[in-house]
């Protein structure tokens, strides 16, 4: 069927900031959708609050709105752009929810906008728990016994009927947010409260648990001609009970028979038809009873998802691209399969490899959180690996995660024998799903536990367990040899099972480099095979690559052309996410523009960088020394870019340079000069730049001495980390001792850095670009929060708003001097602090920073591209970049936090980064821009009502002025005794509320009852922390906005003032940068 001509302009709602459960997979799918619709000649309007995305690049859509994803703002965009259609299925759960609400609220009807992809009825049938159950019942598909509760009482009654354990699933939430598993009545009650809270419909499904059943997913697509295809199946290694986003997943499913497969595929076809998706895709999740094959359906997601991104990367079938084209009326047989280049998308991909998805967790950042995996997703990132067999793929996956684990154990990093041999501990670790369970599974095998026993404890299918046993068996075979006498055949076999050089070194008492050299000498190196969608049946035009030791045929397509290789960032984690992928993609675009071939290496399936057409050749490989060197040897690039992918490639830079790999841009030595504290000190001295008093230490005694000399408070942290990992402000010796004990675990072989903490300083971030001769400042960002809060977690503004001209000049000069002395070629980020009119250098990072995409969006200049070209030898002058651009509008970046995933964790900010993503607010008024950023970040700031203010003693004087502003804006202020006293003395009328444990109703009651609309609460000392944590965490769980710094409170007051005066308006990025 030809594409529709009755629609011309299409609005795409995307997914907003990166949060747990909604990550850069939606940048990937949204970018594909934008490209696909433009290819078909449609005018596209995009709304997304996340500036770190490729899709919000001005060239991707015709009109790009970086605005909050809230109905109010979307309506303004609709009113302005008057699109004919809305595509809500490419922006994750956020996009889908917005589309549904706009439709239900009659806004779409008002402006004559048609929903395409999946209409409101289909969305309702899939998402509304009751309608979904009815729909499934109408086609005879079993659902777990369940009922819908809208109150706690209803939920308890249902629980009584169904029996424990019980799964709770709130309606219309993503990543299982607010979901839980209850084993008793107490857990059921708390679970229900939470679930009802977070569900926008105040609706929760109370469901019979199918814990331990196999979890199998399908990606299904249907076009308007009623053609249905199954793109792939996926099977979770962790059975039902662990959120699929937290499970290790294999594609295709491994343990289903043909008959079971066909049965499930037929159910999929029935389901997609019954739900009524006709021009799009859906994800369908089943639970299969391993004992009798009984099947129940768990849920469906009628949109692109994390799973669809994974399915796309695993098979080479671009689901989002196809879904966008189907939404405008094309059919599957009319869309070309670009990977083969010769066939159409009407087929079902077949693979000849095994794919693994493994998850990256971040429990180390939230030590108070319970590290058990359950139905609410906790993973912050994932890696995908491809191998010709299960064992190889699994081991590659583990080393892709960059946990500094280099395979399934035997890498010198296993827990001490007294733990791994502890039968009871091992059993516990198998029974309760956790992030390291797979390693404990290996200990169980080594301790002599049978496949069946392991299955009984973990419910992990014996087939998977046995595969791991085969890995463990090979480990023992290898360990019988020294490197010099290991038979070639055995070494090849071990490599074929995914053993890394580090594992082999550990097993044979050698070292990584020696193993690599030994293999090279013996010719035991991998070949490259293709992801081609067709199992080798068709010679493909645009495949991508993975390594294999099945070496009968090398399908590497390295050319003799000039080329540059880009090392990506691997799995997302806090501190290293989409921003770096954005930079890597731009590097690739720039390389191609310069007439070179772009070679991408990355392992993250969520990203645009691993899209099949971003680079000339994509290698889906772990980012470790051996994996990268193997590719370098085949491709022989003229240069390798390591400074765009975050810490991952940077950590490899030394080893690669030593192995003779040409590193492009700033030298490894310069990077080291900036990272190494001693060398850095020398550098600053030479340039006559100040830094806070500091020292280093490797022991507590030494640290004590340094801290005394500098004077408390001090900032302490390990060296060579990203995202302020294990970085804290320490106020006294007791804290310091506690820290030194913990930190040694965080980084065993590197010293601890101790800096004077600059109280109440203004923090400034500078990004600049240099071609080796000339340096241009890309943007000077002034932080809203004072120094001491990790730059990734604080809000910041371009241009600066309070710094004097002379200070800005000083900052520029310092930046130029640093760039010059470090011989920067490419990007550099500098963090400064300004205190009492004096400039201090906190940190210099001669590489891409997290702020590069934000600065690019704020200034309208693609800085990462420019930096890439500069690294390739094209001067800034040649590129027409000669001076700093200071925009006339304000762009505020705000961080987004995962606290709602970790109940009980104190959401207070500090020097260790905790945010998962960011948003941007843009406006000509700073206050309005700030408010937009807050709203986009999920802070639903009220324009009237009660606000709760309680601050520590230090802040009590300064809060007065802020409280007066809120009072003048018409808010009723509620405080506990201390703060209330101070405010009353200053003439404010305060409603007093009891502190926790000092009577009821207390603050928590007000929070739970939704009586206060905003919390301003700055953290006190250790004594008050326990209660404060309850209050702050309570606010997060009840989605009440919370501000934990004075500066944030001030900005909020000013922002509300501005909005009350001027209101909100929306404007496309293209119009800002005309």
Partner 1 sequence: MKAILALEDGTVFEGTSFGAAGEQTGEVVFNTSMTGYQEILTDPSYKGQIVAMTYPLIGNYGICPDDFESQKPHLSGFVVREASRLISNWRANMALAEFLKKYKIIGIEGIDTRALTLHIRSAGALKGIISTRDLDPKSLVSKAQASPGLVGVDLVREVTCKKTYQWNSKGKFKVVLLDCGAKYNIMRDLAARACHVLVVPAGTSARKIMAMKPDGVMLSNGPGDPAAVGYVIETVRQLIGRVPIFGICLGHQILGLALGGKTFKLKFGHRGANQPVMDLRTRKVEITSQNHGFCVDLNSLSGQEIELTHLNLNDRTSEGLRHKQHPAFSVQYHPEASAGPHDSKYLFDEFIRSIKHAKKK
Residue in this structure with the two tokens 């609220």, named with its chain if needed: 105
Bond before 1001 cis per omega within 30 degrees: yes
Q: Taking the complex as a whole, how short is the minimal distance between the CB of residue 490 and partner 1, in angstroms? A: 14
Which one of 201-209, 387-395, 909-917, 931-939 is the stretch in contact with partner 1 (CB under 8 A)?
387-395
Contact flag: residue 344 with partner 1 (CB under 8 A): yes
Q: Which of 150, 343, 719, 986 binds partner 1 (CB under 8 A)?
A: 343
Q: Taking the complex as a whole, how short is the minimal distance between the CB of residue 552 and partner 1, in angstroms? A: 4
d(CA 35, CA 11): 13
Output phi, psi for 463, to 5 deg.
-60, -45
Contact flag: residue 254 with partner 1 (CB under 8 A): yes
* Cβ(993)–Cβ(975) below 8 Å: yes
Contact flag: residue 351 with partner 1 (CB under 8 A): yes
Catalytic residue among 217, 402, 763, 912: 763
Catalytic residue among 843, 884, 1011, 1057: 843
Q: Which of 83, 92, 252, 498 binds partner 1 (CB under 8 A)?
A: 252
d(CA 79, CA 83): 9
Closest CA to 213 of 183, 238, 188: 238
Contact flag: residue 878 with partner 1 (CB under 8 A): no
Closest CA to 71 of 53, 90, 54, 86: 86
Q: Is 469 helix (H, G, I), strand (E, B) or coil?
A: helix
**Would you give the distance in Å from CA 313 to the centre of its chain?**
17
Q: Taking the complex as a whole, how short is the minimal distance between the CB of residue 602 and partner 1, in angstroms? A: 23
Tokens in use for 1013?
A: 């609309």
Q: Which of 27, 128, 451, 782 binds partner 1 (CB under 8 A)?
A: 451
Q: How far is CA 416 from CA 89, 410, 413, 419, 443, in A?
A: 48, 12, 9, 6, 11
N- to C-terminal Cα distance for the chain? 38
Catalytic residue among 222, 243, 617, 625: 243
Q: Taking the complex as a whole, how short is the minimal distance between the CB of residue 390 and partner 1, in angstroms? A: 6
Catalytic residue among 285, 576, 602, 939: 285
- Give the residue with the Cβ less far from partner 1, 261 or 712: 261
831 part of the active site = yes
CB neighbour burial string for 170-184, b if at least 16 within 10 angstroms, e if fewer: bbbbbbbbbbbbbee
Catalytic residue among 717, 725, 783, 869: 717
What is the enclosing helix (H) or strand (E) of 288? Answer: strand 280-288
259 part of the active site = no
Which one of 55-63, 271-279, 345-353, 792-800 is the stretch in contact with partner 1 (CB under 8 A)?
345-353
d(CA 812, CA 973): 43
**Segments in 22-70 forming alpha helices (H):** 25-39
- Give the residue with the Cβ less far from partner 1, 51 or 496: 496
Catalytic residue among 81, 299, 382, 392: 299
Positions in 165-204 near partner 1 (CB under 8 A) = none
570 part of the active site = no
Contact flag: residue 353 with partner 1 (CB under 8 A): yes
Q: Taking the complex as a whole, how short is the minimal distance between the CB of residue 269 and partner 1, in angstroms? A: 8
d(CA 720, CA 697): 14
215 part of the active site = yes
Q: Dihedral sign for Cα 524, 530, 535, 540, please.
A: negative
303 part of the active site = yes
Contact flag: residue 65 with partner 1 (CB under 8 A): no
Which one of 462-470, 744-752, 872-880, 896-904 is the stretch in contact with partner 1 (CB under 8 A)?
462-470
Q: Beta partners for 974?
A: 948, 991
d(CA 1058, CA 1052): 10
- Give the residue with the Cβ less far from partner 1, 53 or 458: 458
Q: Which of 293, 341, 487, 873 binds partner 1 (CB under 8 A)?
A: 293
Q: Taking the complex as a whole, how short is the minimal distance between the CB of residue 496 and partner 1, in angstroms? A: 9
557 part of the active site = no
Neighbours of 484 (CB within 10 A): 9
Residue in this structure with the two tokens 């499930």, named with its chain if needed: 264
x-or-dash pattern for partner 1, window 299-338, by CB under 8 A?
Answer: ---------------------------------xx-----
**Would you give the distance in Å from CA 308 to the centre of its chain?**
16
Q: Which of 6, 106, 484, 552 binds partner 1 (CB under 8 A)?
A: 552
Contact flag: residue 227 with partner 1 (CB under 8 A): yes
Q: Which of 58, 462, 981, 1020 binds partner 1 (CB under 8 A)?
A: 462
d(CA 914, CA 567): 25
Contact flag: residue 290 with partner 1 (CB under 8 A): yes
Which one of 129-137, 465-473, 509-517, 707-715 is the stretch in contact with partner 1 (CB under 8 A)?
465-473
Q: How far is CA 977 from CA 833, 985, 995, 1002, 1044, in A?
A: 35, 12, 8, 12, 18
Tokens in use for 441?
A: 């599974």
- Give the residue with the Cβ less far from partner 1, 354 or 1003: 354
Count, residues near partner 1 per rule CB under 8 A: 56
Catalytic residue among 236, 647, 829, 845: 845
* Cβ(162)–Cβ(207) below 8 Å: yes
Q: What is the 3-state secondary structure (H, E, C) of 248-259?
A: CEEECCCCCCHH
Q: Taking the complex as a whole, how short is the minimal distance between the CB of residue 545 and partner 1, in angstroms? A: 13
Contact flag: residue 867 with partner 1 (CB under 8 A): no
723 part of the active site = yes
Contact flag: residue 529 with partner 1 (CB under 8 A): yes
- Give the residue with the Cβ less far from partner 1, 228 or 377: 228
Catalytic residue among 279, 724, 927, 1034: 724
Which one of 247-255, 402-410, 912-920, 959-967 is the stretch in contact with partner 1 (CB under 8 A)?
247-255
d(CA 666, CA 799): 27
1070 part of the active site = no
301 part of the active site = yes
Given strand 146-149, what is the order of strands in its sheet? 146-149, 204-208, 166-170, 180-182
717 part of the active site = yes
Q: Beta partners for 572?
A: none
DSSP secondary structure, 392-413, as one string = HHHHHHHHHT-SS--SSS-SS-
Contact flag: residue 456 with partner 1 (CB under 8 A): no
Summarize as ranges the residues that interact with partner 1 (CB under 8 A).
225-227, 229-230, 252, 254-259, 261-262, 265-266, 290-293, 332-333, 342-344, 346-354, 388-390, 451, 461-463, 466-467, 470, 529, 534-539, 550-553, 555
Catalytic residues: 129, 169, 202, 215, 243, 283, 285, 299, 301, 303, 717, 723-724, 763, 831, 843, 845, 850
């Amino acid at each position: 069927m030809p594409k529709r001509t009755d629609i011309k302009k299409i609005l795409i709602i995307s997914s907003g900031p990166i949060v747990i459960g909604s990550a850069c997979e939606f940048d990937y799918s949204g970018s594909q959708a934008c490209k696909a619709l433009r290819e078909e000649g449609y005018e596209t309007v995009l709304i997304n609050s996340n500036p770190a995305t490729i899709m919000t690049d001005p060239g991707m859509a015709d009109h790009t709105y970086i605005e909050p994803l809230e109905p109010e703002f979307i309506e303004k965009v609709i009113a302005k752009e008057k699109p004919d259609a809305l595509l809500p299925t490419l922006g994750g759960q956020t996009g889908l929810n917005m589309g549904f609400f706009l439709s239900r609220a009659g806004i779409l009807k008002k402006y004559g906008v048609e929903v395409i992809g999946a209409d409101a009825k289909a969305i309702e049938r899939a998402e509304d728990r009751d309608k979904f159950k009815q729909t499934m019942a109408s086609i005879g598909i079993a659902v777990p016994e369940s009922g819908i509760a809208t109150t706690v009482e209803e939920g308890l009654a249902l629980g009584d009927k169904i029996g424990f354990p019980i799964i709770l699933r709130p309606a219309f939430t993503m990543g299982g947010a607010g979901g839980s598993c209850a084993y008793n009545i107490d857990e059921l009650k708390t679970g229900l409260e939470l679930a009802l809270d977070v569900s926008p419909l105040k609706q929760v499904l109370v469901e019979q648990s199918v814990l331990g059943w196999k979890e199998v997913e399908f990606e299904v697509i249907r076009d308007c001609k009623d053609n249905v295809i199954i793109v792939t199946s996926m099977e979770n290694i962790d059975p039902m009970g662990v959120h699929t986003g937290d499970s290790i997943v294999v594609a295709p499913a491994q343990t289903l028979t043909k008959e079971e497969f066909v049965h499930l595929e037929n159910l999929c076809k029935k389901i997609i038809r019954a739900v009524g998706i006709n021009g799009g895709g859906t994800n369908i999740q089943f639970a299969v009873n391993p004992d009798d094959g009984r099947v129940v359906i768990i849920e469906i997601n009628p949109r692109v998802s994390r799973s669809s991104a994974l399915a796309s990367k695993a098979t080479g079938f671009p689901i989002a691209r196809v879904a966008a084209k189907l939404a405008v009326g094309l059919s599957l047989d009319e869309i070309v399969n670009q990977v083969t280049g010769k066939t159409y998308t009407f087929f079902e991909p077949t693979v000849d490899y095994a794919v693994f998805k493994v998850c990256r967790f971040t429990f180390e950042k939230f030590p108070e959180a319970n590290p058990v995996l359950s139905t609410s997703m906790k993973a912050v990132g994932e890696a995908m690996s491809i191998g010709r067999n299960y064992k190889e793929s699994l081991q590659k996956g583990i080393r892709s995660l960059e946990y500094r684990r280099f395979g399934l154990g035997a890498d010198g990093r296993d827990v001490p024998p007294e733990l791994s041999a502890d039968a009871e501990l091992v059993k516990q670790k198998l029974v309760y799903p956790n992030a390291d369970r797979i390693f404990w599974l290996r200990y169980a095998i080594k301790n002599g536990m049978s496949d069946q026993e392991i299955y009984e404890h973990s419910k992990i299918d014996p087939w998977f367990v046995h595969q791991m046993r085969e890995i463990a068996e090979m480990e023992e075979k290898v360990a019988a040899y020294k490197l010099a006498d290991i038979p070639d055949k055995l070494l090849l076999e071990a490599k074929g099972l995914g053993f890394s050089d580090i594992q082999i070194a550990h097993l044979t008492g050698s070292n990584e480099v020696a193993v690599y050299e030994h293999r090279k000498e013996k010719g035991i190196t991998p070949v490259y095979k293709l992801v081609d969608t067709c199992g080798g049946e068709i010679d493909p035009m645009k495949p991508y690559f993975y390594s294999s030791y099945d070496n009968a045929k090398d399908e590497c397509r390295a050319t003799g052309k000039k080329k540059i290789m880009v090392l990506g960032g691997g799995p997302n984690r806090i501190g290293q996410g989409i921003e770096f992928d954005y930079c890597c993609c731009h590097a690739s675009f720039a390389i191609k523009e310069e007439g070179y071939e772009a070679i991408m290496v990355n392992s993250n399936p969520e990203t645009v960088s691993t899209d099949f057409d971003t680079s000339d050749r994509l290698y889906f490989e772990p980012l470790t020394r051996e994996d990268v060197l193997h590719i370098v040897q085949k491709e022989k690039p003229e240069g390798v870019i390591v400074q765009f992918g975050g810490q991952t490639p940077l950590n490899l830079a030394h080893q690669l340079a030593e192995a003779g790999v040409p590193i492009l841009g700033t030298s490894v030595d310069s990077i080291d000069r900036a990272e190494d504290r001693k060398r850095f000190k020398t550098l600053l001295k030479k340039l006559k730049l100040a830094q806070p008093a500091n020292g280093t230490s490797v022991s507590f005694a030494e640290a004590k001495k340094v801290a005394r000399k500098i004077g408390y408070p001090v900032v302490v942290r390990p060296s060579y980390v990203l995202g302020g990992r294990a970085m804290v402000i320490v106020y006294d010796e007791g804290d310091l001792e506690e820290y030194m004990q913990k930190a040694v675990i965080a980084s065993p072989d590197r010293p601890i850095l101790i800096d004077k903490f600059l109280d109440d300083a203004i923090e400034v971030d500078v990004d600049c670009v240099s071609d080796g001769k000339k340096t241009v400042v890309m943007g000077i960002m002034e932080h809203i929060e004072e120094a001491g809060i990790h730059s990734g977690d604080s809000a910041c503004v371009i241009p600066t708003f309070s710094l004097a001209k002379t200070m800005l000049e000083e900052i520029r000069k310092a930046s130029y001097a640093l760039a010059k002395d470090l011989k920067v070629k490419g990007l550099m980020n500098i963090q400064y602090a300004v205190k009492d009119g004096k400039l201090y250098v906190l940190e210099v990072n001669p590489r891409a920073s997290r702020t590069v995409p934000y600065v690019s969006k704020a200034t309208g200049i693609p800085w990462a591209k420019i930096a890439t070209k500069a690294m390739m030898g094209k001067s800034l002058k040649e590129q027409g970049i000669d001076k700093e651009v200071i925009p006339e509008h304000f762009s505020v970046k705000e961080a987004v936090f995962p606290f709602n995933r970790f109940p009980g964790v104190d959401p207070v900010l500090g020097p260790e980064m905790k945010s998962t993503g960011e948003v941007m607010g843009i406006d000509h008024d700073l206050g309005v821009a700030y408010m937009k950023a807050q709203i986009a970040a999920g802070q639903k700031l009220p324009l009237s009502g009660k606000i709760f203010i309680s601050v520590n003693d230090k802040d009590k004087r300064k809060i007065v002025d802020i409280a007066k502003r809120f009072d003048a804006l018409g808010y009723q202020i509620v405080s506990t005794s201390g703060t209330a006293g101070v405010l009353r003395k200053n003439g404010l009328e305060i409603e007093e509320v009891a502190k926790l444990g000092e009577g009821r109703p207390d603050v928590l009651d007000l929070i739970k009852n939704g009586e206060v609309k905003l919390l301003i609460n700055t953290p006190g000392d250790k004594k008050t922390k326990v209660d404060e944590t309850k209050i702050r965490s309570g606010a997060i769980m009840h989605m009440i906005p919370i501000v934990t710094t004075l500066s944030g409170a001030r900005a909020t007051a000013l922002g509300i003032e501005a909005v009350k005066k001027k209101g909100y308006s929306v404007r496309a990025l293209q119009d800002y940068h005309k």
